[in-house]
Structure 1
Amino acid sequence: MPFSSFKVNESPESFRRRHSPAGRLARFAEWRLATIRSRSVVTIGCALVEALLHSAVWGAVMMAVILVGEVLDAFVLRRVVRALAARSEPLGRLRLKTVLSGALQAGSVAAGGVILWFGDPAPPAAFLAVAFLIGAILNAGVAVNHCPLPALSRLAILCGTLLGLFLHSFASGHISGDVLLGTALATALLLYWVAIFVRNIWRSESVNMRAGEAYVKGCEAMAAARAELEARQAALTLLSEVAEHMRDTVIICDAEGTVSWVNRAFTATTGFTAEEIIGHPPGEVLNAEGTDLAVAASIGQAMREGRPLRTRILNSSRSGRELWMEVQTNPILDADGRVLRTISVERDVTEDQRRAEELAAAREAAERSAQSKSEFLATMSHEIRTPMNGVVGMADLLCEADLPGDLGLYAETIHQSAELLLRVINDVLDLSKLDADQMSIAEVDFDLRAVIEDVALLLEPQARSKGLRFEVEMAQDLPGAVSGDDGRLRQILFNLVGNAIKFTSRGSVRIEVAARGQAEDATLEVAVTDTGIGIARESREAIFEKFGQAGPSVSREFGGTGLGLTISRLLARKMGGDVELDLHHGPGARFVLSLPLTPARGNEGAERAEPEIEEDRLAQLDVLVAEDNRTNRLLVEKYLHDRVAHLRFAQDGAGALALIRARVPDVVLMDMSMPVMGGLEATRAIRAGPGPQPVIVALTANAFAADRDACRAAGMDGFLSKPLRRDALLRELSRLTPPARVACAL
């Protein structure tokens, strides 16, 4: 074969490189250079025959012409081979050079054939010329399908020369007709066999080419398969090393759920060797006495169903030590979804479990502590407010008695001291409710300007009495009706403005009110500025802490619990705002309250409106009071004895039930905490009974939202906190006893 399609053990890269356009041209040039010797031998032989048959001169000329063409062709082809190797010239230019050199070489061969043809008119010379040219045609034809342009140029020149010789001889009579005809027939036959030979070579090369391509593809497929196999082997080796050296336990189970492999960490963690667990279900070896069998069953079910699972289970080591393991099962499925194996990664979380149990115990203890605190505060609230109810109530009555001289002063002093003590108690309870997140925030419509003016109106006399200037400035664009908790807003303003007056000896107290932003994003900003003692830099953080003040000397001079700012900030934050100290202001102090401004919703005064006291209506009521404290009974009797039609008393819930069975009153004032039967139990018993039902109002010293909820749940209609105020009692009776109920009572 002049050109080999592929070589044994040839790489795909080499095959493609040899069969590329540049590779084909290089192989064509190399083949031409390799066969130059054989062609020269043929040329020299034909030249000798010419010299013997006709003329030595013409034989020498023939040999010289042909060899010159071969030398020039070889010179060009060598340069082409070097240029292809160095990639120093474009492929098109090199191909053109081979076409030109091939044409030159073919022309020299054609010239030699002409010399042989015309050198002697005898038939042997013509036959020799034909054989010489057909040999050259054969040599050119075998390269047509491999490097077509140079081969076709040579074929065109050689075939044209052969045809031209026959036509010239036929026209000129250089060779007799019989000899010419015989020579033509012989030439045709030779060309036929040459064509068959060249075609077979082409077919053979095509077959070899397809075989080479198939071989290359097979090599590539094998290389890819080998690479994939090596990659998988490397991955498996890596995964095996990872699994083997993991600190977590790795357990591989087969489709039946028995262990087929474990890593080193399994032995290090559990103490069991691989031989002791392989072939057994994991739970058979690892389950402890305290293992939750439901959890173990869920792991087994997940493995059988081929679904992942993450859980914790209590295991036992070989030494009997309990191990809490976090288990993550990962199923491996076949193409049909059947379980092939399950890989379980388990981590020792014994310490985490212990800490979690300790945290749970600590949380439970904290919850019990919080519950105890709430119960303690509720008890203290009741224990303090119950006697305070008598102190405040009796002080109110004494102040209203128009006592002469110093007696009136004494009564007023008692009243003011009781109010101050009650304020301290309320501060502590408010803080407790905020800490327990039991402080409720109302959402009602109210007049913002009116609230600020009311606070200023109530506190201005205190400022004036100390000789302070008291100024209020409200922005023109301040909205009128807004939605929120006006009561808590009043409380915050009372704390801030009250503190400003309290800690200012001379100068002024100023309130500035403005609205920032627009529409739904608007913010209320109230700045309270004073020219008082100010706040030392080292005390600026402490003033918002519980029971914190600006320093021991301030506490001794001005007194107070130190809860006002703490409660104000907590309330403001619960309402979506804040209270902050202006660190750049001085002398004096400047506190800024910011709250979101919500537009009014059309329920103005829905929960804040206080009903008028309907004296005529109250005068027709039958009221039963269930109260175990004698002072409180006396106080209610003083409040109501000349206001209602009938007034009866019971010392506990059981006594109240007996009186109700005898005659159902219009209203029951029910203390929540009483001996024998408490107020909640008595209320539930009343609501469970047949017939008419009275209005039941809770009298309680407990101030938490949970207490109000308990009262509502038991069936109570109203709620009055102790210390009990006469106006609050009368308004609640007016609110809960509309004319229709009074008419029914009559």
Structure 2
Amino acid sequence: MNLQYTPKRELCIIGFITLIGAHLIFSIYCSYTNSFYQKRYIGISQQVTHATEQIYNFEYTETKSYDTLSSALVDIELDAEFLHDSLRQAQLIPFQSYALIHAEAVNKAKHINSELQEYTRAINAILTAKVSYEYALTTITNTQNLLLDKYAAPAEQLAVMASIYQAAANIQVPDMLNRDLMFKNLLSYISLRDRVGAAIQEEQSKLTEAHIQVKLDALNNYWIEQSSKSKIEATISALCLLLALGSYFFWRQWNNYRQATLYQNELLDIEHERAKLSLALEYAQDTIIITDKEGLTTWVNKGFEALTGYSFDEALGIKPGDLLQGKGTDQKEKQRISECLQQSRSIQTELLNYHKDGTPYWIDMIITPIVDAQGHTVNFIAVERDVTKRRELEQNLALSVEQAESSNKAKSTFLATMSHELRTPLNGIMGMAQILESSTEDETQREQLCILLESGDHLLSLLNDILDFSKIEQNKLELEAIPFQFDDIISPVLSTYKALCADKGIELVIENSIPKERSFRGDKARIRQVIFNLLSNAVKFTPQGSISLNFDEIASSSSPETVLNVSKQSRSTISIVIKDSGVGISQDRLEHIFDPFVQAESSTTREFGGTGLGLAIVKQLVLLMDGRVSVQSEAGVGTTFFIDIELEVTTQRAHPQQAKHSLSCQAISQALSILIVEDNPINAVVTKTFCQKQGHKVSLAENGLVAIEILKNERFDLIIMDNHMPEMDGITATKVIRDEMKLNTVIFGCTADVFKEARDNFISAGANYVLTKPLQKESFFDALQQYQEQLISNATPCPAVGSD
């Protein structure tokens, strides 16, 4: 049992002793109260006994004796009533009713009070009857004397006396007495005496049968018993209190002895610990320096001597900084250390020190002030560790990081440059192919040009994959958040792959369980890119059978019935499952299938082609959308991809899509005056041809500076501005047009850079829209249709130019 001294433990003991003392006081109070009621009821019992004796011996001689006895009876009744009321009132007090005055005592007092009231009424009745009896006797005596005086002759007196006794016994009375009124009165008083005497006997019999004394004795015994219990409890409490006090004082003495023993043991342990610490400090590899409050060295360990080359005697009484620091030590850090020491604050720092032989080395140092009980600084302890090798490693690592960042930046620059350089000729190839394809009537040439365009699209897709992967690596790929319905995704998927699957004899099944009216907010283009990549693989690796695409809403914070009332903050998880019956993937390749430049088998590239970037981009895009992607596959059976994407459900409807026009239809109904700013002649010709085929008037400028000079003299409805050009690039030229020339002409930026910075820079400069090279007819015509209203309202009349 743990009896270790604690203030809380002692308070508990004192509280326990206090409770015993309180119980003792309470027991004494209970004993006193019970004794009080016992004595009072014994007094009443004595009064009752005395009153009973008096009533039996009572003879009415004078009024005083009657009043004395009557007053005694009233006192008995008042005392009983007082005790009953006192007990009843005490019972209403919570403290007394809980442990002192019980309901039994109140009921007994109430019962005895009623009995005493009956008793006093009986005594009063007897008392009154005895007074009447004495009065009747006195009257009879006086009347007899008067009759005897009236009839003086002895013979007459004898006749009177005989007649009196005979009348009392209902004997025939002589006529002489019957006619006497006084004799008749005498007979009446004799009758009254007899009746009162009988009543007295009857009341005395009832009084005897009431056993009031026995009941009083029973009540007295009850109070004696209660008083005895209280005295016993008080005695037990007193003994317990003495025992508790004795135990407490014994425990205090024992605990004091134990505390002293423990204190001595702790002192011994401290001494042993100090010895161990001294030994550890003495031989620790870290340098430990102790100085006084002025900073002068008072003790150093052997680690100090090993690190600095100075002995204990050489360091004693000298400030460590004066001994170890030199010209290469950071002066600002020295000043910071000095300020912290002056303010008695701890400090951790790294500093350059010098060995006794002049060799520099780096230390990691912690200086801690030691304060006394009054809060005054008495010492400083410095712990130093040689971190020279770590510093060299950090410098080498920083150099490596810098080199890696430079390499990564060079790679990004290379990709951006190659993107521009590749897209520029690709723009010319695909642009001229589109122009020729729309111009030729020869079916053979048209088919050849379609093959050329498909090859160009494939090359563009590969280029986009590489650039997307580069963006993801650099965390530069940003997602849009625009409202859309899933029909916007499914329609182009169906239109693109239905014909491809039909050509291969593959069945394409698309099931959409998402309500058509439900709108979501997210990056529609990237979701479509994920589906296109997976479907492209499915079509590529499925020689026969079927491909299924399923859309479902597996978890939603709003029910389908409340689609129109859905909150903007509600989220929904969309499940997309793409299943094919193709060649499948072996199990040992599944875990690496999403790694970049990895394909299922080494023969895949030879048989089907591809870079191995498609699935890597799929996974990265899904992760960017806080989604999950997984795959199940069996070689020779087929593959199933599972995608879960969480999207925000919104009531905002997607903007209706502009109707797609064929390449031969008119993009805008009115001829425009267009200035094309392009330094590459091929791209200029392609863009010019696109515009002229629509009936627009076209002017050319080979760079931004030339475009500015032309705009000073001519007004145009549309400016198509290239980005990278000599003398003045497109972004600078756009800023001049907006900021200096204050022109509100619609400007389409045109760049081969696909990084978001290029688009953002163009828009920030004031461009209305940014086209990406290689320029596609559809995207160009879509841009014209998007700004049709502004272009027509600002259009200048110009003659239509025929296509050439």
> TM-score by structure 2 length?
0.61
Question: Counterpart of 1:459 in structure 2: which amino acid?
Answer: Y
Tell me the equivalent position of 2:689: 638
Mapping of residues 161-310 of structure 1, within 5 Å: 229-310=267-348
Distance 1:381 1:285, change over 3 A: same
Aligned counterpart for 1:572 among listed residues 622, 634, 659: 622
Aligned counterpart for 1:412 among listed residues 418, 439, 450: 450
Tell me the equivalent position of 1:717: 768
Distance 1:311 1:218 in 2: 48
Distance 1:714 1:355, change over 3 A: farther
Mapping of residues 208-607 of structure 1, within 5 Å: 229-475=267-513, 480-519=518-557, 522-583=572-633, 587-600=637-650, 602=652, 604-605=654-655
Question: Counterpart of 2:485 in structure 1: which amino acid?
Answer: D
Question: Counterpart of 1:561 in structure 2: which amino acid?
Answer: T
Question: Counterpart of 2:583 in structure 1: which amino acid?
Answer: I
8 Å CA contact retained: 2:555, 2:574: no
- How far residue 561 of structure 1 moved from its aligned partner, in angstroms, is 1.8
Look at both structures and tell me which one has the larger radius of gyration over its CA atoms.
Answer: 2
Question: Counterpart of 1:374 in structure 2: which amino acid?
Answer: S
Could you list the per-position Cα deviations for residues 625-645 of structure 1 after superposition, in whole angstroms to 9, with x for gaps in the alignment? 211000111111111125476
Distance 1:738 1:334 in 2: 84
Gap runs ≥5 in structure 2: 1-250, 558-569, 798-804
- How far residue 259 of structure 1 moved from its aligned partner, in angstroms, is 2.1
Distance 1:714 1:356, change over 3 A: farther
8 Å CA contact retained: 1:448, 1:479: no
Mapping of residues 91-130 of structure 1, within 5 Å: none
Distance 1:218 1:487 in 2: 83
8 Å CA contact retained: 1:618, 1:734: no
Question: Counterpart of 1:500 in structure 2: which amino acid?
Answer: A
Aligned counterpart for 1:707 among listed residues 731, 753, 758: 758
Distance 1:609 1:666, change over 3 A: same
8 Å CA contact retained: 2:717, 2:794: no
RMSD value over aligned CA atoms? 3.2
- How far residue 609 of structure 1 moved from its aligned partner, in angstroms, is 5.1
Distance 1:651 1:366 in 2: 38
Could you list the per-position Cα deviations for residues 55-112 of structure 1 after superposition, in whole angstroms to 9, with x for gaps in the alignment? xxxxxxxxxxxxxxxxxxxxxxxxxxxxxxxxxxxxxxxxxxxxxxxxxxxxxxxxxx
Q: Secondary structure at the match of 2:593?
A: helix
Q: Secondary structure at the match of 2:603?
A: helix
The range that moved more, 270-279 or 631-640, is 270-279
The range that moved more, 613-622 or 376-385, is 613-622
- How far residue 719 of structure 1 moved from its aligned partner, in angstroms, is 1.3
Question: Counterpart of 1:564 in structure 2: which amino acid?
Answer: G
8 Å CA contact retained: 1:695, 1:717: yes
Distance 1:549 1:230, change over 3 A: closer
Question: Counterpart of 2:707 in structure 1: which amino acid?
Answer: A
Could you list the per-position Cα deviations for residues 257-285 of structure 1 after superposition, in whole angstroms to 9, with x for gaps in the alignment? 22222111111222222223332222222
8 Å CA contact retained: 1:478, 1:515: no
Distance 2:447 2:667 in 1: 34
Q: Secondary structure at the match of 1:543?
A: coil
- How far residue 492 of structure 1 moved from its aligned partner, in angstroms, is 0.8
Distance 1:744 1:384, change over 3 A: closer
8 Å CA contact retained: 1:330, 1:342: yes
Question: Counterpart of 1:364 in structure 2: which amino acid?
Answer: E
Tell me the equivalent position of 1:76: none
Could you list the per-position Cα deviations for residues 208-234 of structure 1 after superposition, in whole angstroms to 9, with x for gaps in the alignment? xxxxx9999999998777556545444
8 Å CA contact retained: 2:482, 2:521: yes
Q: Secondary structure at the match of 2:298?
A: strand
Question: Counterpart of 1:262 in structure 2: which amino acid?
Answer: V
- How far residue 698 of structure 1 moved from its aligned partner, in angstroms, is 1.8
- How far residue 472 of structure 1 moved from its aligned partner, in angstroms, is 2.1
Tell me the equivalent position of 2:75: none
Q: Secondary structure at the match of 1:582?
A: strand
Tell me the equivalent position of 1:731: 782
- How far residue 375 of structure 1 moved from its aligned partner, in angstroms, is 0.6
8 Å CA contact retained: 1:622, 1:644: no
8 Å CA contact retained: 1:612, 1:734: no
- How far residue 392 of structure 1 moved from its aligned partner, in angstroms, is 1.0
Q: Secondary structure at the match of 2:626?
A: coil
Question: Counterpart of 1:317 in structure 2: which amino acid?
Answer: H
- How far residue 690 of structure 1 moved from its aligned partner, in angstroms, is 4.5
> TM-score by structure 1 length?
0.66
Distance 1:401 1:740 in 2: 27
Could you list the per-position Cα deviations for residues 635-677 of structure 1 after superposition, in whole angstroms to 9, with x for gaps in the alignment? 1111112547643211112212222233354433221111222
Could you list the per-position Cα deviations for residues 677-735 of structure 1 after superposition, in whole angstroms to 9, with x for gaps in the alignment? 22233333434414434443321101011222332343433211101123322332444
Tell me the equivalent position of 1:201: none
Q: Secondary structure at the match of 2:375?
A: coil
Identity %: 31
8 Å CA contact retained: 1:309, 1:328: yes
The range that moved more, 362-371 or 350-359, is 350-359
Q: Secondary structure at the match of 1:581?
A: strand
Could you list the per-position Cα deviations for residues 5-53 of structure 1 after superposition, in whole angstroms to 9, with x for gaps in the alignment? xxxxxxxxxxxxxxxxxxxxxxxxxxxxxxxxxxxxxxxxxxxxxxxxx
8 Å CA contact retained: 1:483, 1:601: no
Q: Secondary structure at the match of 1:440?
A: coil
Distance 1:617 1:397 in 2: 18
Tell me the equivalent position of 2:708: 657
Distance 1:521 1:313 in 2: 54
Question: Counterpart of 2:602 in structure 1: which amino acid?
Answer: P
Question: Counterpart of 2:344 in structure 1: which amino acid?
Answer: G
8 Å CA contact retained: 1:259, 1:278: yes
Distance 1:223 1:502 in 2: 88
Aligned counterpart for 1:670 among listed residues 721, 725, 731: 721
Tell me the equivalent position of 1:173: none
Question: Counterpart of 1:553 in structure 2: which amino acid?
Answer: S
The range that moved more, 218-227 or 568-577, is 218-227
Could you list the per-position Cα deviations for residues 170-202 of structure 1 after superposition, in whole angstroms to 9, with x for gaps in the alignment? xxxxxxxxxxxxxxxxxxxxxxxxxxxxxxxxx
Distance 2:777 2:687 in 1: 8
- How far residue 736 of structure 1 moved from its aligned partner, in angstroms, is 4.5
Q: Secondary structure at the match of 1:347?
A: strand
Tell me the equivalent position of 2:748: 697
Question: Counterpart of 1:604 in structure 2: which amino acid?
Answer: A
Could you list the per-position Cα deviations for residues 299-350 of structure 1 after superposition, in whole angstroms to 9, with x for gaps in the alignment? 1211111111122112222233332211112111234433222111112222
Distance 1:477 1:620 in 2: 43
8 Å CA contact retained: 2:673, 2:795: no
Distance 2:283 2:764 in 1: 62
8 Å CA contact retained: 2:519, 2:653: no
- How far residue 745 of structure 1 moved from its aligned partner, in angstroms, is 6.8
Tell me the equivalent position of 1:6: none
The range that moved more, 541-550 or 386-395, is 541-550
Higher relative contact order (Cα pairs below 8 Å, separated by 6+ residues): 2
- How far residue 568 of structure 1 moved from its aligned partner, in angstroms, is 0.9
